[in-house]
Amino acid sequence: RNGSSYKALIAQEVRGINLKTEEVELDEWITRLSNCLADLAAKNAKARQALQGLIT
């Protein structure tokens, strides 16, 4: 949060080092977050169950 407004940032991190930070519109940030969560859930049953609990 920056003052009275918010910034939607996407960072690319490798081994704890931030290689790139990109400011995006909030709708793009939400879409990209949703896609990452869906990928995680597809790869990991335990993560899928945890995410399922959040949306039900």
Q: Structurally, how many domains does the chain consist of?
A: 1
Which amino acid appears at position 28 of this protein?
A: E
* Cα–Cα dist 35/24, whole Å: 15
| Domain that residue 35 falls in | 25-56
Which pLDDT score, from 0 to 100, does residue 25 have? 94
Is 39 part of a structural domain of the chain? Answer: yes
Residue 3 inside a domain? The answer is no
Segments in the chain below pLDDT 70: 1-4
Structure tokens at 54: 């959040």
Q: Which long-range contacts (CB under 8 A, 24 or more apart) does 32-38 make?
A: none
For residue 3, the model assigns a pLDDT of 65
